[in-house]
Structure 1
Amino acid sequence: MTDFGRLMTAMVTPFNDKLEIDYEKAKQLIEHLIHTGTETLVVCGTTGEPSTLSNKEKLSLYKFVVEQVQGRCKVMASTGSNDTRSSIKLTKEAQNIGVDGILLVAPYYNNPSQEGLFQHFKSIAESTDLPIMLYNIPGRSVVDLTADTILRLSQIKNITSIKEASGDFSKIAYLLEQAPPGFKVYSGDDSLALPILSIGGYGVVSVASHIVGKEIKTMMTTFLDGKVQESAKIHRKLLPIFEGLFITTSPSPVKYALEKYGIPVGSVRLPLVPVTKDEANVIDSLLNKLHGSWK
């Protein structure tokens, strides 16, 4: 079974001044993320602005990341949508490119039933040999995968994990208790990475790792080594930046923060807009405080 590691990063999509994909910037970003502890790059996930990317752009970016990584970390392609047939087609094309896994978000807007959700994911899983991570994010997709539906899906051989961003700890604990051996639950929220790890979760699909990847990795490693209080202290230090990077719709804040860190990734495509001056000031303050706390 493919191990995607504890720290996965939902990578932003770098753009140039014309808001086209900037592959030179992407190269710099990839190297930065690998250097700071990312074990799997998630390409064209929510943080990568997939709803504004064409399938041609997505496939081009998958290919570029696979070639740039050269096996130094895993590459997971986000191919989910609210159209099962389109998702199957993109998944097959991503597999041909050579990605290591597939991320499938719960289909948004058309509000399927739990049976519809099950059949959607089952159909896509049957179209590929790659390991699949489900992505439950009711705050964006409207629908919420129930524990029973996730457990049904976990019986499918190549559905091996879930990125849980519901914040429902009772459900997560139930999943961890009832899912088949080897099925992994990842936090979809940086602020819940340690709490979910503490009840048996495996890791995090992170946004903040663009900025504090080494610190997040240390937080998890320290916890797993049994140094709970030390790990909790790191979590408390990181919490303001975890929350600050969502002061407005992601990925606008993290793209701004990367620019401040000397890793330019360009702006965001409409309908998203860059951070305001006031939002930028808040992020600047958080970054300055964080930097000082680690001296």
Structure 2
Amino acid sequence: MLPRVFTAMITPFNTDGDVDYEEAGTMAAWLVAHGSGGLILSGTTGESPALTDIERMNLLRAVRAAVGNDVPLWMGTGTNNTRHSRELSWQAAEAGADGVLLVCPYYNKPPQEGLIRHFVDIADGLPVPAMLYNIPGRTGVNLLPQTARTIIQECPNVIAIKEAAGSLPQMQELINLLSPATHVYAGDDAMYYPALTLGAYGVVSVASHLVGCKIQEMTQAVEQGDLHEARRINGLLMPLFQELFRYTNPISVKWAMNYLGFHAGDVRLPLATPGDPRAFDELRLLIDQLVPQATWPRAC
């Protein structure tokens, strides 16, 4: 069973800008204890474009050592180079990943046929399952539902898709086209509640860094048919969902984890944290309201 709530985990850096593997393990264990059913490493939120291949694999090993073998650990291995993506995916499988997240190729803007051939080439024969990742706002290309179905029909080990096109009609079409055996994940926290009501399976979340247990509660409320409670939780969390994306992800969530007391460090260039000391005032207030201080890892 795949978890309903995956956290797309940030990558902590030390003061020299190097990956802080020890802190990554500490953070991963805390996330699992506070609502994360599984973790996705070196995805967009993990600043994958700024990580080396060696850093990715060392990060996976460090987090695996911290959380053990029972926590699903998936790794973002998709790039805009098919051969490189395939090599990364095999390396991740050999390093102990339970699955790989394959984003649509960015910048190249391939046609739908190119997307089919790209994903099939990567997934074919891969010893771990794969999740497709559609996010046109970052890649410049939209993986259409029919295209996704074709890929999944050709590759039985493609068992899930993270859908972040921002379109509920496209989400509904995707869910209608795919077998229930293929898990559709919302790729945007703010879209998760409506996606659940359309039949989505779960979420690949950023906000679960802070409110993973609440997101689990919302998921369970929908499962139990208590839409009133699910709407209440969604309404409570919506300001946080929106504030976490005021700046390009993961700028805000990385600041938030530092605020909680983690040593998350800064983002790597070309991302940059706003210099305005008031930039995160609203986020600070929301964290104080929504994240019980008793759960914070270190006193601020």
Does the alignment pair 1:170 with 2:169?
yes
Q: Which amino acid aligns with 1:81?
A: T
Q: CA deviation at 1:264?
A: 2.4
User: Is 1:258–2:257 an aligned residue pair?
Assistant: yes
- In structure 2, the partner of 1:81 is 79
Equivalent residue for 1:183?
Answer: 182
Question: After the TM superposition, which of the residue ranges 282-291 and 262-271 deviates more from structure 2?
Answer: 282-291
**CA–CA distance in structure 1, aligned partners of residues 72 and 212 of structure 2:** 16
What is the distance in 2 between the residues matched to 1:169 and 1:247?
Answer: 21
C-alpha displacement of 1:222: 1.5
Query: Offset of 1:181 from its aligned partner?
Result: 3.2
**Percent identity for Structure 1 against Structure 2:** 40
Partner residue in 2 for 1:95: 93
| C-alpha contact (below 8 Å) 2:189/2:203 kept by paired residues | yes
Structure 1 Cα separation of the partners of residues 82 and 61 of structure 2: 22
Q: Hey, what's the Cα distance between the residues in 1 that align with 2:280 and 2:125?
A: 44
CA RMSD of aligned residues (A): 1.2
Name the counterpart of 1:123: 121
Deviations 1:196-251 (A, max 9, x none): 01010000000000011111111111121111101110000000001101110111
**CA displacement at 1:127 relative to structure 2:** 4.0
Partner SS state of residue 174, structure 2 = helix
- Cα deviation for residue 167 of structure 1 reads 1.4
Pick from 47, 53, 56 the counterpart of residue 55 of structure 1.
53
- After TM superposition, give the deviation of residue 151 of structure 1 in Å: 1.1
Any conservation in 2 of the 1:88–1:127 contact (CA below 8 Å)? no
Match of 1:201 in 2: 200
CA contact (8 A) 1:79 1:91 kept: yes
User: C-alpha separation between the residues in 1 aligned to 2:287 and 2:69?
Assistant: 32
User: Residue type of the partner of 1:280?
Assistant: F
The one-letter code matched in structure 2 to 1:253 is S
Report the more deviating stretch, 21-30 or 277-286.
277-286
Q: Could you list the structure 1 runs, at least 4 aligned residues long, displaced by more than 4 angstroms after superposition.
A: none
Q: Distance in 2 between matches of 1:183 and 1:105?
A: 17
Alpha-carbon separation, structure 1, partners of 2:85 and 2:41: 15
Does the Cα contact within 8 Å between 2:211 and 2:290 map onto a contact in 1? Answer: no
Is residue 229 from structure 1 mapped to residue 228 from structure 2 by the alignment?
A: yes
TM-score with structure 2 setting the length: 0.94
2:278 corresponding residue in structure 1? 278
Query: Matches of 1:82 and 1:236 in 2, distance apart?
Result: 37
| Cα offset, 1:75, TM superposition | 0.4
Q: CA deviation at 1:10?
A: 0.2
TM-score, with structure 1 as normaliser: 0.95
State the match for 2:2 in structure 1: 4
Alpha-carbon distance between aligned partners in 1 of 2:236 and 2:230, rounded to the nearest angstrom: 10
Measure the CA separation in 1 of the matches of 2:95 and 2:290: 39
The answer for the alignment partner of 1:288 in structure 2 is 288
1:157-198 CA-partner distances (Å, limit 9, x unpaired): 011110000011112111211212301110000011111010
8 A Cα contact 2:82 2:122, kept in partner: yes
Quote the Cα distance in structure 2 between the aligned partners of 1:127 and 1:44: 22
Look up the match of 1:42: 40
Aligned mate of 1:108, from 100, 106, 109: 106
Which segments of 5 or more consecutive residues in structure 1 lack a partner in the other structure? none
Write the distance in 1 (CA, Å) between the matches of 2:186 and 2:204: 6
Cα contact 1:137–1:144 (8 A) shared by 2: yes
- Give me the whole-angstrom Cα distance separating, in 2, the residues matched to 1:171 and 1:252: 28
Counterpart contact for 1:165–1:189, Cα < 8 Å: yes
User: In the aligned structure 1, how far is the partner of 2:41 from the partner of 2:15?
Assistant: 21
Deviation at residue 291 of structure 1 after TM alignment = 5.0
Q: Give the distance between the partners of 1:176 and 1:280, measured in 2 at CA.
A: 36
Partner of 2:297: none
Per-residue CA deviations over 1:75-122 (Å, capped at 9, x if unaligned) read 001100000000111111111111111100000001111000110000
Q: Which 10-residue stretch deviates more, 152-161 or 134-143? A: 152-161
SS at match of 1:180: coil
The secondary structure found in structure 1 opposite 2:74 is: strand
Report how many aligned residue pairs link the two structures. 290
